[in-house]
Structure 1
Amino acid sequence: MYIAMNRFRVRPECTGEFEQRWLERDVLLKTVPGFVSFQFLRGPAREDHVLFASHTVWASHAAFGAWTQSEQFRQAHAQTGQGKVLTIGPPIFEGFDVLQDITGQD
């Protein structure tokens, strides 16, 4: 398994608009082989920003790599960088190979 995260430092006055952009966009991940799950996360507020993250779980690093080369990826990111700037700097990418995965019981 592989986890891909992008961390965003969002200007405090822009959090509502940032959330709206994410929650109203088309989700194409479900159509990509190897996709497992996605979470959109809001973290702690700091003096100059609120931390947000996109968190995706993939069957493998190769599946994630294939997503980044796919037409769905191009479509999903076509509007990136357009409109009002809501963040402080670009997103920070972090990728992780899963060494252990413990899940709850049904």
Structure 2
Amino acid sequence: MKRRMKRARSKTPGRPASRHSVKQNGDKTMYVAMNRFLVKKGFEEAFESIWANRESKLTDMDGFLHFDLLKGDETEDGYVLYASHAIWRDEDSFTGWTKSAQFRESHARVKPTVEYKGRPNLELFTAVEGLSIKNWDA
């Protein structure tokens, strides 16, 4: 039985929403790579500076679509949650990035001292369904 999807409605006038299925082995896939960091309170500016001043090589890579650095809440034990959120066309594109010279170069730079709680936690996702506003960058 084929599942029918409800028509998506935008809450913003003049910006139609678009709901889409994401095919696992078809033309449309999406792969999300997120690294979660717990940064000790007081080191937020230094951590954000690392990202703001880096020479990113992501846009050199085939299959790279989008990147955001996200800041979350402070934890009870005095750390601030951050997540780097990169969207790739598919898993092969992300894997290609991790094996590239650009990846090694981007991660080899000396960085300002920041105190972390543990190592970054890498989480990987394959999209199975999506909803967006058409031309959301506009």
Matched to 2:41, the amino acid is: P
TM-score by length of 2: 0.72
Match of 2:89?
59
List alignment gaps of at least 5 residues for structure 1: none
Highest CA radius of gyration, 1 or 2?
2
Matched to 2:51, the amino acid is: W
The separation in 1 between residues aligned to 2:100 and 2:112, in whole angstroms, is 24
Match of 1:35?
64
Percent identical: 37
| 8 Å Cα contact 2:50-2:112 kept in structure 1 | no
1:24 is the counterpart of 2:53:
yes
The separation in 2 between residues aligned to 1:86 and 1:25, in whole angstroms, is 18
Match of 2:42?
13
Matched to 1:14, the amino acid is: F
Q: How does 1:64-103 map to 2 (within 5 A)?
A: 64-79=94-109, 83-103=112-132
Aligned residues: 105
- Runs of 4 or more off by more than 6 Å in structure 1? none
SS of 1:101's equivalent?
strand
Larger RCO (alpha carbons 8 Å, 6+ apart): 1
Shift of 1:101: 1.6
The separation in 1 between residues aligned to 2:114 and 2:63, in whole angstroms, is 32
Shift of 1:83: 4.7
Cα RMSD after superposing both structures: 1.3
Whichever structure has more helix as a proportion of its residues is 1
The separation in 2 between residues aligned to 1:85 and 1:20, in whole angstroms, is 10
List alignment gaps of at least 5 residues for structure 2: 1-29
